[in-house]
Structure 1
């Protein structure tokens, strides 16, 4: 807030207080009604703001106070209507508005105290409403129905001992509430917590001024109402104005805080993943090395069979560790750096790396794309092609053919890998791109992470990944899309 605006607000408040003071000299009942009316409106506004931001806030402190202030406003309204001179409650003297004042202040002080319990936990709004409704009915009945609420003011004598002790008790409760709030101030917007703390202090001063007046129209009564007005102005500034003009400070503060916490947890998870990967891979690689040595020197067929099983499962463990580590890092990555490259060249390189595996299964890989396919990609795209080709080889019968093509899809290139394997059921087509979700593959082992890695890398490329049935025979077509580079050219365009 700039300086001129601060001065303007200060002058408005100053002249308002001066005007109210002169009104109190002319007509104290009007003065009392104006101040109480303003604080009632503010209390209702606190409820409206707190209630409408409840879905966004993890901290239920303000929501609890908002509900409480709705009922406090109700008590203050009856207190105002019953004040000496209003003439609405016949047969009652100044004791009635004083009793209602004490009830409202007890409700306010205990609400601040109980609200502290919900700084770090949620409340049930329905139960809170029901609780305050029951308490309000019981307290009002104790005055109007059963006449058992202690007297607070005696005409010609002044305040009763109960009233004075109650004001001190309320002040102590408010002080404890302020201490708890101060200890948990980091859970709030700094401006909000500071204003509420000052408001509580002013409320304590308010209660203390109401411990020694004799006349309900007296000077200390007037000072007490000025202090109450000041405290409600601060609460208004803290919650109502901030909640309307700067809603992100209240409604989304918890979201911002959770985002920061999540970022810290992700960094810790990355560190844990790196440590875990290192500590798991080291013994796994040791096992691999010794197994290879034993396989070279072992002559016993039964022992060789056992060693091969050990080697195969150890290699699977290494594959899972590497895949889990990669997926963990990808999930915590928001963006990648891109460069222009020919994805056709990259995929041909991947095929070459699988040459031994392809020959071992007596398979053929047919790359029918025939041109230049420039795309905006990150080097991680190679992992996508590795996973797609690896799956096609793994899940296709020996001797089958795998077809790889790159199609023109407008602003994208659509890379397809067609196999002649068992295929994927419609119910599994979405699930297989989630981690550890695998279709029924008739005993073929996998990590359940490969396609999850594919999907995440493609998402970071602003592309899509999917699977369809092979339209010509059994098997399926896995496909991904990547963005073309701005100067993409191709000798032959094939629509996707």
Structure 2
């Protein structure tokens, strides 16, 4: 369907052709010979334009049948020019006469018709430009020689008029033209419909022109006027076919490709989860995607053309943002970094956007604007600030709790030590004899008091660590010596349950950077648990080895093991395998928590591997002979 722009162009062309026709008609009434010369000259100019367009656009159009015709018609134009200057009234050739005049005409029409027919064989085939030019140049020289040497058939005899050769030739040429139409139509699937229509109309005009030239009585008849007008029309429609193929269709294809590329790029930008804003050198928005519309509260049509800084940047930050924009426009690539700025939406709400900026350049490399992708981080920033505030609150509450527990533990230990001390005095019978029931009660008081004191001591140590008040004084100590001391201390405990305790050390002497008391506390806690949770006649093994720049110590047992789902919180305070374990085996539930804290104070790591019914292995690392 023809759009409005094409309709206007068609109307303009139609009016222009109509006025040219009127001018030719008026000239023909005034001087037919002048009309004849102008019509021929006009046709030659069309042919020259046609060839110029084809030759200069050969790298942009398909070099097939239309390229072939563009070359052919320039040589047709050569014979039409010779036809024009051989007109007796022109006085440009000494030997000019009507016969020579018509010989050039007939030769031009033969060349034109055969060229059109030959072109049908080059539809969708490649045409070699130089070879075609050479071939037509040789043909032109050959036929020009035949005509000038009087070896070409006579077309006009003075006193008798046109010859049979001339008349038959016009009919033969018309038949060749018809055959060209048939061949082009036969290959219509390979030819653009608009180009095909122009070609067919051009050839029909040529046929009608040839028929007009077969029925005139003399060179001043009305048929001559009709024939030349039709011939100019034929050249014009051939010119249109060439223009459509070499300029209009490629331009439309280029425009459509650009339009599709722009629409595709806009679609990509619209489905992106980030804002995209392009700003030109006048600080106005030239591009905005859907996400930008959603965040800013404007439609795309409203956004385009708005000054970005006047409409969306808060006054308090405008100078800083303008400075960054100007640096980008000046080519300062260091400014191309991620920044966070505030913007003001249509509703007046401020939102925080994290921007990534880049520059836009023209074909000469000149910076013409900026392109920025932005992520709305307003909610994330609020959540982060709330999280930080909550964390600070939690840390403050935890310190308060730790300080409270430390103070309370200190206050509880004093009376508890008195209770334990006086109970032990009673058991020593310093104040008199106790009966069996009194002795049992006193033992329970001492046992429970010591358990409570152990719990208070652990709570106090943990509170000190969390409050940052736990002292830590590492030094270079001999690891084999410390292991020997621990083995000596733990052997009696293992002996009571008939547990085989074995220490496996893969080095003779090595020193570690650790606080001796806390390091021994780590091993004491792990070994106490291993012995406590291992049945009689079981095994507990301590293995020490070098692992890169650290020493790795593992404590393994053949005890009850830990369920897999409980492993993830085994080092948390007051966490034990289950309540029944607590009742059966006792303990404060803080031992492993303190062990983990002590290991981390040394710059090490601790982990556990366990399987129910098969035992557990606790492993930890301590740096070698250096401050962690």
CA distance in 1, matches of 2:175, 2:217: 23
Aligned residues of 1:59 and 1:119 also touching (Cα < 8 A): no
Aligned to 1:120: 124
Question: d(CA) in 1 for partners of 2:273 and 2:225?
Answer: 74
Which residue does the alignment assign to 1:20?
Answer: 24
> Following the alignment from structure 2 to structure 1, what is the Cα–Cα distance between the partners of residues 273 and 8?
52
Counterpart for residue 249 of structure 2: 249
Give the gaps of 5 or more residues in structure 1: 261-333, 341-408, 413-482, 492-496
More relative contact order, 1 or 2 (CA 8 Å, 6+ apart): 1
Give the drift of 1:183.
Answer: 2.6
Alpha-carbon displacement from aligned partner over 1:389-423 (angstroms, at most 9, x marks no partner):
xxxxxxxxxxxxxxxxxxxx9569xxxxxxxxxxx
1:138 is the counterpart of 2:142: yes
Task: Choose the corresponding residue for 1:219, options 222, 246, 250.
Answer: 222
Match of residue 233 from structure 1: 236
Task: Give the conservation status (yes or no) of the 8 Å contact 1:72–1:108.
Answer: yes
Matched, 1:33 2:31: no
Q: Distance in 2 between matches of 1:126 and 1:217?
A: 41
Q: CA deviation at 1:8?
A: 5.0
CA shift in 2, pair 1:5/1:82, >3 Å: same
Q: CA deviation at 1:124?
A: 0.7
Q: Which has the larger radius of gyration?
A: 2
Alpha-carbon distance in 2 for matches of 1:109, 1:256: 36
- Shift of residue 42 of structure 1? 0.5
1:68-87 deviation per Cα after TM superposition (whole angstroms, max 9, x unaligned): 11111111111101113112
1:336–1:232 CA distance, 2 compared to 1 (3 A): same
**Offset of residue 339 of structure 1:** 6.2
- Hey, what does 2:290 align to over in structure 1? none
1:263-412 correspondence to structure 2 within 5 Å: 410=337
Q: Is the 8 A contact 1:113 1:174 kept in 2?
A: yes
Residues 188-199 of structure 1 mapped to structure 2, 5 A cutoff = 188-199=191-202
2:83 paired residue number: 79
Is 2:176 the counterpart of 1:163? no
Where structure 2 has 5 or more consecutive residues not aligned to the other structure, the ranges are 261-267, 275-335, 340-372, 385-628
State how 1:62-101 maps to structure 2 within 5 Å.
Answer: 62-101=66-105
The C-alpha deviation readout for 1:295-314, integer Å capped at 9, x for no partner, is xxxxxxxxxxxxxxxxxxxx
How far did 1:335 drift?
A: 11
Distance 2:216 2:138 in 1: 32
Question: Which residue pairs with 1:480 in the alignment?
Answer: none
Counterparts of 2:192 and 2:168, CA distance in 1: 35
Change in 2 beyond 3 A, CA 1:27/1:248: closer
> Match of 2:62?
58
The number of residue pairs the alignment matches comes to 285
Aligned residues: CA RMSD: 4.0
Q: 1:6 to 1:115 in 2, by over 3 A?
A: closer
Partners of 1:96 and 1:12 lie apart in 2 by 34
Aligned residue for 2:89, secondary structure, equals coil
Paired with 1:411 and 1:118, the residues of 2 have a C-alpha distance of 59
Matched, 1:187 2:190: yes
**Matches of 1:177 and 1:102, distance apart in 2:** 18
Q: Is the 8 A contact 1:199 1:232 kept in 2?
A: yes
Q: Tell me if structure 1 keeps the 8 A contact 2:203–2:234.
A: yes
Distance 1:159 1:3, change over 3 A: same
Paired with 1:231 and 1:215, the residues of 2 have a C-alpha distance of 23
Deviation at 1:217, TM superposition (A): 2.4
| CA shift in 2, pair 1:248/1:98, >3 Å | closer
**Which deviates further from its counterpart, 211-220 or 166-175?**
211-220
| Cα deviation digits, residues 65-117 of structure 1 (max 9, x gap) | 11111111111111101113112222332000100001111111111111111
Retained in 2: the 8 A contact 1:83–1:97? yes
TM-score by length of structure 2 reads 0.40
Aligned to 2:108: 104
Q: How does 1:392-471 map to 2 (within 5 A)?
A: 410=337
Does the 8 Å contact 1:57/1:255 carry over to 2? no
**Equivalent position SS for 1:85:** helix
Deviation readout 1:267-317 (Å, 9 max, x if unpaired): xxxxxxxxxxxxxxxxxxxxxxxxxxxxxxxxxxxxxxxxxxxxxxxxxxx
Moved more, 248-257 or 34-43: 248-257
Report Cα offsets for 1:111-169 as digits up to 9, x if no partner.
1111111111111100000000000000000011x321000111221111111111111
Q: 1:43 maps to which residue?
A: 47
Partner of 1:153: 156
For residue 128 of structure 1, give the secondary structure of its aligned residue in structure 2.
helix
SS at the partner of 1:40? Answer: helix
- Does the residue aligned with 1:140 lie in a helix, a strand or coil? helix
Distance 1:62 1:206 in 2: 22
| Partner residue, 2:544 | none
The answer to whether residue 184 in structure 2 is matched with residue 172 in structure 1 is no
